[in-house]
Amino acid sequence: MRIVIVEDEKPAARRLVRLIENLGFNVEMTLHSVSEAVDWFLNHKNPDLILLDIQLSDGLSFEIFDEVSIESPIIFTTAYDEYALKAFKLNSIDYLLKPIDEDELKLAIEKFHNNWSSANPLTFNLDQIKGALKLTEEKKFKKRYLVKIGQHLKMIPIGEICCFYSENRGTYFRTNDNRDYLLEQTLDQVEEEINPNLFFRINRKYIINMDAIKEMVSYSNSRIQIKLHKMEEDDLIVSREKVKKFKEWLD
């Protein structure tokens, strides 16, 4: 089976190739932009299956279809929910949200094998898709937090936060200048509103920023100890049940 990936983030593309190879398939080509994809599809036979990110570095992948006719079935892979219904109006087999789960990818490829043929393409009920996936608008992640310092209010950009943590029934975050601020939200609520590509909850107490990681050390019981640039705490341990997803997140 000839599989082509269109994904502008190279670490995400490499991980997707690895997931597909783990399922026993080979990837013929990985493309990283609208222009690169248009050029390739104009000069090559349509593959058996395309895994297509929606938002590429030079535009939306839907623009590819304005330039070249593609009859291959498609599995869309993206972090942006708002494009779901438009995606299913094309030759879409499935729509997977990032970070891609290996089991969901396996089911999507099985769906392709079981249902797709050139003589009998899949058809979709958009209302059913909308209800099942609940993809009605783009998920918006927090870009900043508003905190109170005495009588003053201060906005802290999300990129300046090295971690969120809970302590004494309170929720706090620490910034890159080594300051701590109290939040009204619980750690569970914070986890729902921040970008999972940037932050990861390593255990019940801490959510860390990937850019703040200084060092990672093997720890007892197959766990990982994390050292952040601005944190000296010794309980920054990736819990055992989260180690696999943590390593995937780093990729």
What are the 10-residue block averages of pLDDT along the chain, 251 residues in total? Answer: 91 91 93 94 92 85 85 80 53 75 88 65 42 46 88 90 93 93 93 90 94 90 88 83 90 75
Q: Is residue 138 part of a domain?
A: no
Helix 10-22 and helix 102-115, axial crossing angle in degrees, nearest 10 = 60
> How many distinct structural domains can be found in the chain?
2
Q: Distance between CA 48 and CA 71 in Å, rounded? A: 9
Q: What does the pLDDT read at residue 101?
A: 85
Which domain, by its residues, includes 10? 3-133
Q: Which two tokens stand for residue 195?
A: 């970008």
Query: Same domain, yes or no, for 78 and 149?
Result: no
Query: Same domain, yes or no, for 92 and 155?
Result: no
The amino acid present at 171, given as its one-letter code, is T
Q: Is residue 101 part of a domain?
A: yes
CA geometry: angle 167, 168, 171, nearest 5 deg: 45
CATH of the domain at 175: 2.40.50.40
Query: Same domain, yes or no, for 188 and 95?
Result: no
Condensed to tens digits (0 to 9), the pLDDT of residues 37-80 reads 999 999 999 898 999 998 888 888 888 888 888 888 888 887 76
Q: What does the pLDDT read at residue 123?
A: 44
Query: Same domain, yes or no, for 170 and 198?
Result: yes
Q: Distance between CA 60 and CA 71 in Å, rounded? A: 18
Q: What does the pLDDT read at residue 226?
A: 93
Q: Is residue 139 part of a domain?
A: no
Query: Same domain, yes or no, for 177 and 205?
Result: yes
β 74-78/92-97 pair status: parallel
β 152-157/144-149 pair status: antiparallel
Question: Which of 72-99 are b and which e, b meaning 16 or more Cβ less than 10 Å from the residue's Cβ?
Answer: bbbbbbbbbbebbbebbeebbbbbbbbe
For residue 47, which of 85, 93, 79 has the smallest C-alpha distance?
93
